[in-house]
Amino acid sequence: MLYTLLIGLFIGVIAKMLMPGRDPGGFIVTMLLGVAGAFVANFIGIQTGMYAEGEPAGFIASVLGAVILLVIYRMVVSKNSNRSITH
């Protein structure tokens, strides 16, 4: 689990480089999404049999998980900011 946390911080940096632009939460939120992406990739990998229990997610899977979470985060935050402008 500690490995997943540490690699997740690095993955957040990689995800930010792959998806440049302004994020409402800034760089820290992007790094936290990287950590979450690593955990999500690990969970999905274990559920699908790609990884054994206790085995950390791979680098590429973690990057993909972080990018997916970053896309979802941007969509949710932009939708909420559009709502607050119109009301």
Give pLDDT tens digits for 53-74: 877 777 888 888 888 888 888 8
The radius of gyration computed from the CA coordinates of the chain, to the nearest angstrom, equals 14
9 Cβ neighbours under 8 A, 6+ residues apart: 31, 34, 35
**What's the pTM value of the predicted model, to 2 decimals?**
0.69
Tens-place pLDDT, residues 17-51 = 887 776 666 767 777 888 888 888 888 888 898 88
Q: Give the model confidence (pLDDT) of 26-35 as tens digits.
A: 767 777 888 8
